[in-house]
Structure 1
Amino acid sequence: MKLQAFAIALVTSLLWLLTSWLAPPAWALTQVRLFDLDYHECPPELAEGAVTSGGTAMAANCFIVTGKAENKSDKPVINADIFGRIYDANNDSVMQNRTRLGSIEEIPPGISDFELRISVPANQPTPLHLEQFKAAGFTGMVRR
């Protein structure tokens, strides 16, 4: 009985060793810290736009959010989603029911600059308050 259990354990171990190199790498979601946030109005060539809700268009102001992204991994983070909250001067949410604000195509290891274009309904007063910004992405291709 002991010999049979040993043989099963040996065969299982050998199969694991032989097939483990075939398994695709596991890509874990990598968190990226966003800091030194600021914003400014878009240049005229980017500034035109509207915010639509329920099929109706409203006038909008265009802003570019800028800041630093810190990727602590040793690999580039690809297509990182940006999350955060933006409030107007009255502390009303600029992006109702939405915390995903956009994405960064690639974040190299270390600290790098990023920018994000946003449209804000023209009736929401400035200054804007940028809170709880972060990004998350993968250190490799998710789909092939």
Structure 2
Amino acid sequence: MKVVFISCLITFLSWVITPPAQALTQIKLSDISYKECPPELAQGAVISSGSASANCFIVIGKAENGTNKTVYDADIFGRIYDANNDSVMQNRTRLGSIAEVPPGISDFELRISVPANQPLPLKLKQFKAAGFSGQVRR
């Protein structure tokens, strides 16, 4: 009898003490375009290997949060191609993040560096984002 009571007590306490799950919330991205970085951001831009020069761009668009809560740390995913349909970000679809997305529609921007030898215009495809309903501990 004692074992049953203790088991029930532990089960009950685990339900009460467990923090709420922070579900991943999908964010719809639309009106995606890009523009060149201002000179102060573009100066000295290089690609991740650090040796080749790069062009700096800012991807801009609208983020739609369909919930009634702010979404935090929303990762932005997408594919970017050059004029020859070659991938600009090899083996990489996570492009950056948005710190906070309030309920409704809001603007976002993301800075990217593209190797200078890749021909323009860029093609932005399959953009989406997902974040959390509560702040993620760091």
Secondary structure of the residue aligned to 1:58 is coil
Give 5+ residue unaligned stretches, structure 1: none
**2:87 matched residue in structure 1:** 93
Following TM superposition, by how much is the alpha carbon of 1:17 offset from its aligned partner in structure 2, in angstroms? 5.6
User: Which residue matches 1:29?
Assistant: 24
Q: What SS does structure 2 have at the residue aligned with 1:45?
A: helix
Q: What is the one-letter code of the residue matched to 1:64?
A: I
> What does residue 129 of structure 2 align with?
135
Deviations 1:50-73 (A, max 9, x none): 1133x6x10100000000001111
1:96-111 counterparts in 2 under 5 A? 96-111=90-105
In the TM superposition, what is the alpha-carbon distance from 1:131 to its structure 2 partner?
0.2
Gaps of 5+ in 2: none
Q: What is the aligned residue count? A: 135
Task: State the partner residue of 1:50.
Answer: 46
Q: Deviations over 1:88-113 (max 9, x none)?
A: 00000000000000000100011100
Distance 2:34 2:25 in 1: 25
TM-score, with normalisation over the residues of structure 1? 0.84
Q: Which has the larger radius of gyration?
A: 1
Residue identity over aligned pairs, in percent, reads: 68
What is the TM-score with the length of structure 2 in the denominator? 0.88
CA RMSD between the two structures: 2.0
Query: CA–CA distance in 1 between the matches of 2:135 and 2:100?
Result: 11
Structure 1 residue 68 and structure 2 residue 55: aligned?
no
Give 1:19 shift. Answer: 5.2
